[in-house]
C-alpha cells in the first residue's frame, strides 16, 4: 500500500508539470498564431471580413443554402470545403496561402469557370479591389475567424 501511493505521487507530479509546459507552449506557439485565434487577426476579421461574408457569400454558402456543398459561416465549415464537379470533397482555402486558395481565385474573376459572387444575368458581381485585397490578406494571416457564426445579411 505504502509503496503504491509513493509510486503514484511521483508519476502524478511530472504529468502535471508536463501538462503545464505543454499548455504554455501551445499558447505561445506560432502554430496557434497561424490558426487565427490571435486578437489582431480576430479584430481584422470582425472589421473587414465578417461584413464581406455576410453580405456577399453566406446567402448561398451558409446555414440555409450550401451551393457547391460549401458553407462559409464558421471557420470549421470553411476549412471543410465544398464539393467539386464530381461531388468529391474539395478544399477551398489554404490558410497562409492565397495563391492556392479557391476562394481567392473565385473572387478575382480570372477563371471563367469559377467567379464568386456569381454574375447575375451576365452582369459581373465582382467585389471591389479593396474587398479582394482584404480577403487575400485574411487568408495570408491564416484565416482568423470570430467565435460567432456569420449570419447572412439578406439583400432585397
Interface residues toward ligand HEC, by CB under 6 A: 56-57, 59-61, 67-70, 81-84, 90, 92, 102-103, 106-107, 114, 116-118
Residue 53: CB minimum distance to ligand HEC, A: 7
- The residue number whose beta carbon is nearest to ligand HEC equals 82
Residue 62: CB minimum distance to ligand HEC, A: 10
Nearer to ligand HEC, 32 or 50 (CB): 50
Q: Is 14 helix (H, G, I), strand (E, B) or coil?
A: helix
Nearer to ligand HEC, 9 or 155 (CB): 155
Nearer to ligand HEC, 6 or 155 (CB): 155
Residue 19: CB minimum distance to ligand HEC, A: 39
**Burial class, 79, CB count within 10 angstroms (exposed 0-12 / middle 13-18 / buried 19+):** middle
Nearest CA-CA partner of 41 in 136, 134, 112, 144: 144
Any idea which residue has 460567432 for its cell?
A: 148
Residue 28: CB minimum distance to ligand HEC, A: 32
Alpha carbon distance 152, 58 (integer Å): 5
HEC assignment per residue over 62-86: CCCCEHHHCCCCCHHHHHHCEECCC
Amino acid at each position: 500500500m505504502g509503496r503504491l501511493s509513493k509510486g503514484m505521487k511521483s508519476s502524478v507530479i511530472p504529468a502535471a508539470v508536463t501538462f503545464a509546459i505543454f499548455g504554455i507552449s501551445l499558447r505561445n506557439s506560432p502554430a496557434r498564431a497561424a490558426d487565427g485565434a490571435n486578437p489582431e487577426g480576430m479584430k481584422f476579421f470582425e472589421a473587414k471580413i465578417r461584413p464581406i461574408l455576410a453580405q456577399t457569400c453566406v446567402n448561398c454558402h451558409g446555414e440555409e443554402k450550401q451551393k457547391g456543398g460549401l458553407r462559409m459561416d464558421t471557420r470549421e465549415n470553411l476549412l471543410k470545403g465544398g464539393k467539386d464537379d464530381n461531388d468529391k470533397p474539395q478544399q477551398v482555402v489554404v490558410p497562409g496561402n492565397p495563391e492556392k486558395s479557391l476562394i481567392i481565385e473565385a473572387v478575382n474573376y480570372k477563371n471563367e469557370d469559377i467567379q464568386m459572387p456569381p454574375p447575375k444575368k451576365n452582369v459581373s458581381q465582382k467585389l471591389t479591389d479593396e474587398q479582394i485585397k482584404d480577403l487575400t490578406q485574411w487568408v495570408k494571416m491564416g484565416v482568423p475567424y470570430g467565435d460567432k457564426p456569420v449570419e447572412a445579411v439578406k439583400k432585397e
